[in-house]
């Protein structure tokens, strides 16, 4: 166990919230779960997890500002040196958790944010987006979350800042853990039977990048259904080659005509 408190801010995350919390329990001294108004089974699922580490707090939120205020409230209640943000759709492999524990022992006192690689599933568990690097572990005494300046292109994201120097760039006190330490993100999959209750807040259907096939392994805590275990890299390449050949042949024969024809 490390000196880390996990912060989990959730709303309608019934599909993955159990796996998300269970995957980080070995790492955490404490898990603060703030539910901001779930209308599905999220609260019941979290409450059913057998662990004395978990504390559930019920809240209501109607704006990104309130979410940021709850983030800061969680920080103020944290007694550990570090806190870790874990959303209800983020799942960590067992190996990643053990590696994080090892890496944290060597973090210098000048580091206040730790970035991890995130892998986003798209459409199913057989496709992922390019790796995205994001801050997930923060020094409790030095970091707070902005409530007045959400990101312009992502207004639901609460950017962190240095408590003692809000204008200072966080990059100067940030490290990136090795690329073999990563977690999985399920924001582009259905996360609840009541997804529609959240309206525009659920933006998981429109990824901005092309996905690529993923052949595993999958995190141990994830109950993977809908996986095509027979899909291997060799079989996928053969399938892609055949489809490309067929489409190319049809395109040449029926669609494309030389200029002046």
Q: What is the pLDDT of residues 179-233, one digit of tens each?
A: 999 999 998 888 888 777 666 555 555 676 788 888 888 888 877 665 555 555 5
72 by Cβ neighbours in 10 Å (0-12 / 13-18 / 19+) ranks as middle
Say what the pLDDT of residue 229 is: 54
Residue with the larger pLDDT of the pair 258 and 137: 137
Indicate the pTM of the whole model. 0.82
What per-residue string of b and e applies to 173-194 under the rule 16 or more CB within 10 Å gives b?
Answer: beeebeeebbbbbbbbbebbeb
d(CA 71, CA 9): 8
* pLDDT tens-digit readout, 111-134: 999 999 999 998 888 889 999 999
Q: Please tell me whether residue 72 adopts helix, strand or coil conformation.
A: helix
Say what the pLDDT of residue 151 is: 44
Q: How far is CA 137 from CA 48, 50, 100, 103, 215, in A?
A: 26, 24, 10, 12, 28
Element (H or E) spanning 169, and its range? none
Which residues face 237 on adjacent strands?
Answer: none
**pLDDT value at 243 more than 80:** no
115 and 174 Cβ atoms separated by less than 8 Å: yes
Say what the pLDDT of residue 140 is: 98
Say what the pLDDT of residue 28 is: 97
Superfamily of structural domain 4-213:
Spore Coat Polysaccharide Biosynthesis Protein SpsA; Chain A (3.90.550.10)
């Amino acid at each position: 166990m490390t000196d880390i408190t996990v912060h989990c801010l959730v709303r309608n995350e019934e599909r993955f919230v159990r796996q998300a919390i269970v995957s980080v329990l070995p790492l955490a001294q404490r898990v603060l779960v703030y539910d901001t108004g779930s209308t599905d089974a999220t609260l019941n699922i979290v409450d059913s997890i057998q662990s004395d580490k978990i504390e559930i707090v019920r809240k209501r939120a109607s704006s990104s500002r309130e979410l940021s205020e709850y983030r800061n409230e969680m920080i103020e209640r944290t007694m550990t040196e570090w806190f870790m943000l874990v959303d209800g759709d983020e799942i960590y492999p067992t190996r990643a958790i053990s590696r994080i524990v090892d890496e944290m022992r060597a973090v210098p006192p000048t580091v206040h944010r730790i970035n991890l690689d995130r892998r986003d599933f798209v459409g199913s568990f057989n496709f992922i987006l390019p790796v995205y690097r994001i801050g997930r572990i923060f020094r409790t005494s030095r970091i707070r979350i902005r409530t007045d300046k959400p990101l312009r292109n992502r207004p639901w994201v609460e950017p962190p800042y240095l408590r003692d120097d809000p204008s200072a760039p966080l990059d100067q006190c940030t490290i990136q853990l090795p690329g073999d330490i990563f977690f999985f993100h399920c924001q582009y999959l259905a996360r609840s039977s009541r997804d529609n209750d959240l309206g525009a807040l659920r933006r998981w259907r429109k990824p901005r990048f092309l996905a690529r096939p993923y052949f595993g392994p999958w995190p141990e805590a994830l109950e993977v259904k809908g996986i095509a275990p027979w899909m291997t890299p060799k079989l996928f390449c053969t399938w892609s080659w055949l489809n490309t050949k067929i489409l190319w042949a049809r395109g040449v024969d029926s669609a494309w005509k030389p200029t002046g024809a």
